[in-house]
Amino acid sequence: MTAHRTSQSQRTARPAGRIERALAAPTPLPLSPPDKHERHWPHRLGEIITAFAGKRILVIGDMIADDYIIGAATRMSREAPIPVITQRERFTVPGGAMNPAVNARALGAEVHVLGLIGDDETGRRLRQRLSELGIHHDLLFTEAQRPTCTKMRVLAGNSQGTVQHIARVDTIDNTPPESATIQRALRGIEQTVAEMDAVIFSDYDNGFMILPIIEYALHHTTRHGCMSVADAHGRLSRYHGVTAVTPNQSEAEAEAGIPIRDHGSLQRAGQHLLANTSARGALITRGGDGMSLFLHDGTSFDIPVYPSEVRDTIGAGDTVTATFALGLAAGASMADAATIANVAAGLVVRRLGCATTTPDELHHAVAGLEATW
């Protein structure tokens, strides 16, 4: 990994523990084969991945059902200039905040989710799927008049096997939760965070992530020395005091009010994110340009994209957030956690839909980093 380092005076250190270890100044990771000081880098990353097993993760956020209709485009409609799709398959998978939860579970973590779904057939299917995956969902709440938020995607293939997204239909209720639900959520946070190694905030701006829930959860993560990572589609400043934030480039630009055009504007945006959230790290995902990590001491790192044949980028940001949080929970530096997260994202974009990867796949991929980078 290339490193653009800018030395600044050290800020006041937090109490010793997992967070302090994550903030320790990491050794820049090389693009070329490691020198003698970095010869054991892939082994170190492998040890971190092994340590994912059994880490306890709480995901708080907007729960969404991802509904897929997959078929074949047989002809053009006579009613409008659109293709007619012959449906071949339809299924529902956990989406929204449940996607980082599924990713963390696939990597070996013990995962709990806290959020709001509907008391409807879609919500029941989601609970069943979470149970099948071994994800704890006793903190998934329902409200009588609220439907489960759903994103329906229509995909169609051709005779060459190419699949394209044709349309997406969203059913989103973004009204805030009822007062009784808020109180149940606060009690759940108080009872659960102390037992967690990391908390992930997955904020799709769909209504559940109101300030009282965010602030109460961050209060308890700080109190118990628990890692916290926020992936929010907007208003990141509400996550003041979080350990790290993981916006994509467009979200970072919107939050900072800075169009990212070059290295200088990227640096300014990264530093703005840190200042605006008081986070210890900001990991900006940048699509084909890889990722950029900014630390509170002024150090920054550019991580090149992991070589991969991209089939579908849906959910890759959630994979990054889950893997990065797991790395921090396992005691990794932010640079090492970000590197592993970058590799994980490169693996899942090879698959259709919100995909996951496994520890075995990650072990194999990081072992070959010297050859691919």
Give the long-range contacts of residues 289-296, CB within 8 A, separation 24 or more. Answer: 289/249, 290/342, 291/320, 291/338, 291/341, 291/342, 292/266, 293/334, 293/335, 293/338, 294/267, 294/270, 295/23, 295/25, 295/334, 296/11, 296/23
Tokens read off for 321: 């957030």
- Contact of 203 with 251, CB cutoff 8 Å: no
User: Given its phi and psi angles, is residue 205 left (phi above 0), alpha (psi -120 to 50 degrees) or beta?
Assistant: left
Query: In sequence order, what are the residues at sequence separation of 6 or more whose Cβ sits closer than 8 angstroms to the Cβ of residue 225?
Result: 15, 17, 18, 19
Distance of CA 233 to the CA centre of its chain: 11
Distance CA 21, CA 328 (A): 9
- How many whole angstroms separate alpha carbon 105 and alpha carbon 201? 16
Candidate list 66, 67, 197, 318, residue with the active-site label: 318
List the one residue out of 171, 45, 149, 44 whose CA is nearest residue 97: 149
Please check whether residue 174 is in contact with residue 116, taking contact to mean a CB–CB distance below 8 angstroms: no
Residue bearing tokens 């945006």: 269
Task: Judge whether 318 counts as a catalytic residue.
Answer: yes
Rounded CA gap, 90 and 48, in Å?
Answer: 37
DSSP assigned state of 33: S
Using an 8 Å Cβ cutoff, are 321 and 246 in contact?
yes
Q: Give the residue numbers annotated as catalytic, written as ranges.
A: 318
